[in-house]
Amino acid sequence: MKENYRKERIARSIKARSDDIYALTSYREMWYLLFPRFIPIVGIAIVSYFLPLYWKKVAITTCIFAMLAVSWDFLSNCGLLSLGQALFFGIGSYTAGGLNHYLHLPIYVTIPVATVMGGFISTMILLPVVRLRGIYFAMVTLILPLMLMRLVEATKILGGTEGITGLSPFPNVWFEITLILAAMWASLFGLRRFIASDYGLIFVSMRDNDRATMASGINIYAFKAQALFIGSSICAFCGAFMTHSYQFTGMPVFAMEFSILPIAAAAIGGIGTLAGPLVGAMILVPLSEVLREFGTLRIVFYGLILVICVVALPEGIFHYASRKYNEMERWVKIE
């Protein structure tokens, strides 16, 4: 008779016993928990500081996309499927650029103001649509940035097709890297902590079933607007940052790339964990730098990766890795 085996998964130590409270009883356990968090933070910091200048810029771009991806995942965790991170990104970028160019505000004013104002404007634009669910929201967010691009083109406001150049640069590249790294980790761990809090639970509950959230007495529209504000502020920050990093803002900030790459990163990294999309971005962006010589074929690769990942590895790298890390697997015979 054929022998059947099945895979048995055994959770490794501490975390398995409780979803909530647990005590760390040894350095080994502490290390076990710290390792996956500590290593990437230190590793990425060290690597980014010692790279040659060109790759430093790549590292910065990577962080920016990582933040866009984290924000995308946060929104999707709240039941808001965004296909238009470029909208938030572009609005942040133009706000920072406009403030800097027309009002001559310094960089430490423009970036915070653009972050908050960008988030606010984006939320206002999308407010009518938060009442609708799923795909409808997605479609609106997809076309809005493209149309805003045309708006700038047609009205020739804010520099028109040429954009605004000659904006204030960062004082030096060290400052730049430190700022974006800090922002990236802050948004990742901040959001992770946030959605695990009692207040954040409400946001996550909307994805599972927004009717039940409503029947729990929660005004879901107010909460979705808040989620939108948080998510778009993060993107607006990225836009403002990029603007000063390249000392330029213009129509390309609404480009499809800023919408697609974060989603691709999330699809590869694993949707729903916030950390997964970050991992995905860390893989995708440097990879696309390496593939630069292929020109537009590079985007074809993105597309392929997207389709394959979604169909073949729906859980994403992060889920896979964390399962391997947190659980032991073995084959057992089925009697």
Partner 1 sequence: MLVYGLINSAVLALMALGFNLTFGISGVANFAYGAIYVVSGFLTWALINNLGLPYALSAVLTIVIIGVFGGLIYKFIIRRIRGLVISEVIATFGISIVILEFLRYIGFIGFKYSLPVFINGSVEILGTFVDIQRLFIIGFVIFLIAALYLFTHYTKVGLAFRGIAQEEHTSLSLGINPDRIAGWSMGMGSALGAFAALVILPLGTITVDSGYDVLISALSVCIVGGLGSTFGVIIASFIIGYAQTITATYVSAHWTMIVSLVAILIILAIRPSGLLGHQKELEERV
Partner 2 sequence: MSILEVNGITKAFGGVKALDDVSVTVEENTLLGIIGPNGSGKTTLVNTITGFVRPDTGSVLFKGRDVIGLPPYRITNMGIGRAFQMVKPFFHLPAFKNIIVPLASPRVRASSGGKYGDKDAVALDVLEEVGFERDSSVPYKTASVLPHGYLKRLELARLLALKSEIFILDELFSGLSIAEVTSIIPIIEKILLDGKTVVMVEHRLKELFRIADKVIVLNYGKKIKEGPPKEILEDEEVKKAYLGVEV
The pattern of x and - marking residues 65 through 84 that bind partner 1 according to CB under 8 A reads -----------x----x-x-
| Closer Cβ to partner 1, 111 or 140, answer by number | 140
Partner in contact with 216, chosen from partner 1, partner 2, none, beta carbon below 5 to 8 Å by kind: partner 2
| Closer Cβ to partner 1, 106 or 314, answer by number | 314
Query: Which single residue is written with the structure tokens 């790549």?
Result: 58
Q: Is 166 in the site for partner 1 (CB under 8 A)?
A: no
Partner in contact with 296, chosen from partner 2, partner 1, none, beta carbon below 5 to 8 Å by kind: partner 1
Phi, psi dihedral angles at 70 (to 5 degrees): -60, -45
Instruction: Give how far the C-alpha of residue 236 lies from the chain's centroid of Cα atoms, to the nearest Å.
Output: 12
Cα(228)–Cα(232) distance, integer angstroms: 6
Q: Is 157 in the site for partner 1 (CB under 8 A)?
A: no
Neighbours of 77 (CB within 10 A): 21
DSSP 292-315: GGGTTHHHHHHHHHHHHHHHH-TT
The pattern of x and - marking residues 102 through 141 that bind partner 1 according to CB under 8 A reads -----------------------x--xx-xxxxxx-xxx-
Residues that bind partner 2 (CB under 8 A): 18-20, 198-199, 201-202, 204-205, 207-209, 211-220, 272
Amino acid at 93: S
Q: Are 91 and 118 in contact (CB under 8 A)?
A: yes
Phi, psi dihedral angles at 144 (to 5 degrees): -60, -50
| Closer Cβ to partner 2, 57 or 207, answer by number | 207
Amino acid at 54: Y
Partner in contact with 16, chosen from partner 2, partner 1, none, beta carbon below 5 to 8 Å by kind: none
Phi-psi region of 97 (alpha: psi -120 to 50; beta: other; left: phi over 0): alpha
Residue 61, helix vs strand vs coil? helix
Sign of CA dihedral 215, 219, 221, 225: negative
Cα(160)–Cα(251) distance, integer angstroms: 8
Partner in contact with 220, chosen from partner 2, partner 1, none, beta carbon below 5 to 8 Å by kind: partner 2
Tell which positions 184-223 bind partner 1, by CB under 8 A. 211
Stretch that binds partner 1, among 189-197, 230-238, 255-263, 327-335 (CB under 8 A): 255-263
End-to-end CA distance of the chain: 11
Stretch that binds partner 1, among 39-47, 180-188, 293-301, 321-329 (CB under 8 A): 293-301
Residues forming contacts to partner 1 in the complex (CB under 8 A) are 76, 81, 83, 125, 128-129, 131-136, 138-140, 142-144, 146-148, 150-151, 153-155, 211, 256, 260, 263-264, 267, 271, 295-297, 299-300, 302-307, 310-311, 314
